[in-house]
Each structure stands twice: as C-alpha cells, then as structure tokens.
Structure 1
Amino acid sequence: MRILITGASGTIGRFLTARLASEGHRMIALGRKPVDDIASGFSRYDLSDVAPGLPAADALIHCALHHAPGKFRGGEGQDPDLFRKLNVDGTKALFQAAKSAGCHKAVFLSSRAVYGDARRGETLVETDEPAPDSLYGQVKLDGERALEELADARFSGVALRVTGVYGVPPGTSDHKWSGLFASFRAGEDIEPRCASEVHGDDLADAVLRVLQMDGNGFDVFNVSDFLLDRRDLLKLLAERTGRDANLPERATTVPGVMDSSRIRRLGWQPGGLDRLKTFIGACRVTD
C-alpha cells in the first residue's frame, strides 16, 4: 500500500514507519521537512493547513500532535486555544483531505486519556463512555469523532487508544526512560509511579493489523500490554547494571487499565514482560 503518515519523525511515527516499510509498504511522510532516514517519500504538510493538498494514497496514519515539547497532558502550555485549533480543526481538515485524495482507510493514534483518570484501578473497555479530564484527552476524543463522522463504505476509520509507549525508536538512541534511568543510577530520589505500557514495535504490529482488517465505517481498539510500577522497572535496571541505588516506594495508586482483548482477537500478541526484560538487557549501561 501507499501510506501517508503524519508525525513520522516522532517516537510513535518512527516505530510505525520502520515496521510498515519493512513489510513492503511505501511510506510518505507528511510534514514540514523530510524524514530521510525512515520514510521513502515526502509531501509538505502542517496541522495549520485549512485545506491540505495530499498526494493520492491508499491509507493515512495520523500520529502528529501540536504540543509543548515533552508534554502531552498539559501540552497546551500557555495557549490552549491554539492547541485545540491545530489538533482538532487541523485533524478534521486532514481526514477530509485524505478522503478526497482517495484513501480508503485512516488510522488515528488516540490515547487512554479519552477515558480520564477518575476510574483508577478499573478495567477500561472500548464501549465505556469517554470522560476526558484533560484538554489533551478532549482533543483526542474530538479527533476520534471527526473521523467517525467521515467514515462510510468508501472510507473506513480506526482509532487506536494507546497507552504509554516504550522502546528505542528506530534511528535514535534515547528513549522515554533515559532521564529516569540516569537519575536512578545517580542515586537521586525517584517519585513512585505506576503506568500501563506497550512497546513501540507491538504498537506498530497493531497498526499493521487494523490496516489489513476488512470492514467499513468506524471502529475503536485499546492498545495496551501490561501495568508497570517504577519500582519493578528500576529493579530490572539495577540487576542489569549491578549498581545499588535506592528503589522508589511502590505506587499507592494505579491507573485504569485498558482491556486489549478486541485487538488481540485480530491476532495481536504483544511481547509482555519478556520484551521489557529484553529491552532493559539491551540498554546502554551509560544511558
């Protein structure tokens, strides 16, 4: 397939582009500048475009998000109106342009944030009523609804509600825990935290499966692998490096955990804790 992708240079985009290209798909990065190391083509695009001119393609994957550097929740910074305008209006315009360009499917990278944080410790399923309690969660939900409104027999839409993504993105050397690992090895105090995670390669496999899925209209899938406490994560690192440091206390609260049984019925089999241990084993000791 000829696939357009936004956010190709980001963490998620790099995992997706590398995997789909390895499967023989021609990846066209949509953005402000080419991503020569991972994409096989480029077309200029920006979320501020009110009527994007997109090249003809079979499918679109939308990963891009306008946000303050390093932040998703709270990514609006000091300008929530711009955050909302680019990520909602820009996303609507993109989906319309993709449909006009002949794409028969669009995949939107949404987030667990659409459920909100009120249901800590509960199981979250796709049929639950969304209840975002952050602007980030709201714009992701608005993006889902924009795609649902356009979906029909010719243009199907899939929203993947994704949890935290770990792993080293192709073409880079750092990862989401690089700073955390350095602080831990330096003996600094680490704040307790528990979160749900999925490896970027497993997320890429989920995207590949929904691209290959038959059907029309609109659908939603949760994409999450396991719940991870920082204490357990850093204990694995300590065993890997042989360095003694104070482990943080176990977190006293846990987030709502997305049930991923629907995407698993498509054959999705994430790597679980074995993949996490492999990742830790491959980390540079100097990370």
Structure 2
Amino acid sequence: MTRVLVSGGTGFVGRFIVEHLLGSGYRVTVGGRSQLPEDFFSQPVSYVPLRLDPDADQIAAFDNIYYFVHAAFEHVEGKYRGGEGDDPEGFRRANLDGSVRLFEEARAAGVRRCVFLSSRAVYGERSPPVVDEASPAEPDTLYGSVKLAAEDALKAMTGHGLVTASLRVTGVYGPAGPGRKHKWSKLFHDYLSGRPVESRVGTEVHGDDVAAAVRLMLEADPANVSGQIFNVSDVLTGNREILSILQAATGCCHSLPAAERGDFKEMSTAKLRALGWRPGGRDRLAATIRALAGAAQME
C-alpha cells in the first residue's frame, strides 16, 4: 500500500482527507502537534510529531513516505481570515516559512508528490464575478497572501522527481469528528432556538469532495497536474437555503432569514472537472444537512 503523510490530519478538513484515503486503500500517517485521539479515525493510522516551525529538523517524519498532503495551518481558533490575531509575524513565520521548510524536507527525503491545501482567499475581493485559475491572484488578507506565497514556493520545487499541486479550496462543510461540532452547529442551534439569524451567502464544498480532489492529485498523470493550481468549490448557498432544509427536516416553524444578495464571487471548477472530479452538488448538501439535523435532535 502507498504511504501518505497528511499534516493537520486531525483538523476539520484533514480528517476528511485521512478517511477518504484510508477508504481508497492508502496507508496513512498523520502528522501533528499532539498524539491522535483514541478512535478518532475509522481505521488505524500511524502518527508522527510534526509542527510548522522553520527552524525544526523534521525530515525523519518523511521516512518511507511516498506522498505528502499538507493540510496543517496555524491560526486563531475559528478564524482563517484574521487568524493571525495580534501576531502577524508569528502567523507568517509558521504558515509560510514553516510550510516551505516541510516542502523542502519532503523533497529531500524523496517524496514523489506533494499536495498543498490553499484557499480561494488568494483571489481577494477585487476578483471578477467568476474566478478561474487564470484570474489574477490579488489577496487582500494576510491569510490569502500567505497561502499564495506557499503555493509559489511549492511550484518552484516542481521537477527533479517531485510532482506538486495546490488546491484552492472554498468553504468546507460536513460532519465533524467524534466529540466535535460541525461548522453550522451554532447556526442550527440559533435557528431552532428562535434566535434571529443574519443573511449570509457563500460557496461550499463537502469535505469528502475536497478529499476526492486530493486523491485525484495523487493519482492523475503527472503531466496533467504537476506544478498546477486547481479550484475546489461546489455550490453557492446561504443561510436561507441551509435553514430551509433544516426547517423541512425538523418541522421547526421559525422564520427564515431574508434572501441573500446574489453577487457573491463564484469559482469555476472546470479545470478539475476535466480530470474527472464530480462533487455532490445540492443533493449532497441537502442530504448532509438532514443528517446533521437528525444527529442534533438525538443529542
């Protein structure tokens, strides 16, 4: 079985990647700052200590590793944009310099492929209504700037036996790990409790669909992915649609928030779909909300 190291594998998105790769027959090692919670994954995984520290010698973490998926990111809890808090220098040092150090060590250790989880934030708010991978990258947050710089650093390492790819991921939804809350738990609780809920619109993709995009980067012909960027997004939705599905699933009669504005910037995923990627769309969105609603009612 092919061995894959996933940094940040116990994070919300990382866990989807680990589970998807396990289900696809990969042998997964999770790299992180602390030992794995017991029974956190559906199958046994290995663990190696790994942190975002540009001064740390961590090349041993890549022993016998064939692929590296870099999903780790240090930030203030609950925030990505603005995740630097009051320490922008430390934020940049960890997430840019620390990531570049891991990329370099992976290459030195003989890792064959490296996939980096980037973000739609690299496009910034001045982007056109629909962005594709050829759209200008003009980040207007430190988060977006750090992601873009890490993309560029990884791309520069392409070749000499290393296949690289970066995935610009939008908002990710889905069930959380054991003992953790999903991203809409507060939204659901507020609505079901009769509290007012603000209108909000955004693009979303299920965590398993992100993981499928990661696996595609590991398995596709190198000529089709190496050194390239791919958008990862699925549906444009908002609190009104999300809560209308919740309303139907629970029979709750509270009023829904107002309809959202319709000018939110979307991401074209034609490039990724051309490789065979097929996200779940609105059917998966609705099914996931119904499942999360059922779980909430059983708590």
Contact 2:118–2:166 (CA under 8 A) maintained in structure 1: yes
Matched-pair contact (CA < 8 Å) for 2:68–2:111: yes
Q: Does 1:137 align with 2:144?
A: yes
Tell me how many residue pairs correspond in the alignment. 286
Single out whichever of 139-148 and 29-38 deviates more from structure 2: 29-38
* CA positional deviation for 1:100: 1.0
Match for 2:32: what amino acid? G
Letter in structure 2 aligned against 1:74: G
Matched, 1:77 2:85: yes
Structure 1, gaps ≥5 residues long: none
Contact 2:54 2:99 in 1 (8 A): no
Alignment-derived partner of residue 151 in structure 1: 158
> Are the counterparts in 2 of residues 119 and 255 from structure 1 also a CA contact under 8 Å?
no
Work out which of the residue numbers 74, 83, 86 in structure 1 matches 2:94: 86
Equivalent position of 1:205 in the other structure = 212
Taking a change above 3 Å as real, the CA distance of residues 285 and 88 of structure 1, as seen in their structure-2 partners, is closer
CA contact 2:127–2:135 (8 Å) conserved in 1: no
TM-score under structure 2 normalisation? 0.92
Residue 173 (structure 1) shift: 5.0
- Distance in 2 separating the partners of 1:186 and 1:62: 38
Deviates more, 1:88-97 or 1:213-222: 213-222
Query: SS in structure 1 opposite 2:28?
Result: strand
Look up the match of 1:48.
53
Could you list the per-position Cα deviations for residues 157-216 of structure 1 after superposition, in whole angstroms to 9, with x for gaps in the alignment? 100000000000344552100011101111111111100000011111111111101225
Post-superposition CA distance 1:224-273 (Å, at most 9, x none) = 01100211111111111101112111222543111001111111111100
Aligned to 2:198: 191
User: Secondary structure at the residue paired with 1:89?
Assistant: helix
Aligned pairs for 1:190-269 within 5 A: 190-215=197-222, 217-252=226-261, 254-269=263-278
CA RMSD in angstroms comes to 1.5
Structure 1 residue ranges (4+ consecutive) displaced by more than 4 angstroms after TM superposition: none
**CA 1:116–1:187 in structure 2 vs 1: closer, same or farther (change >3 Å)?**
same
Deviation at 1:23, TM superposition (A): 1.2
Q: Residues of 2 paired with 1:162 and 1:172: CA distance?
A: 25
% same residue = 39
Amino acid at match of 2:3: R
> Within the alignment, does 1:32 sit opposite 2:38 as a pair?
no
Q: Residues of 2 paired with 1:32 and 1:66: CA distance? A: 11
Amino acid at match of 1:241: T
Could you list the runs of 5+ residues in structure 2 that have no partner in the other structure? none
In 2, the alpha carbon distance for the partners of 1:244 and 1:187 equals: 9
User: C-alpha distance in 1, partners of 2:222/2:277?
Assistant: 18
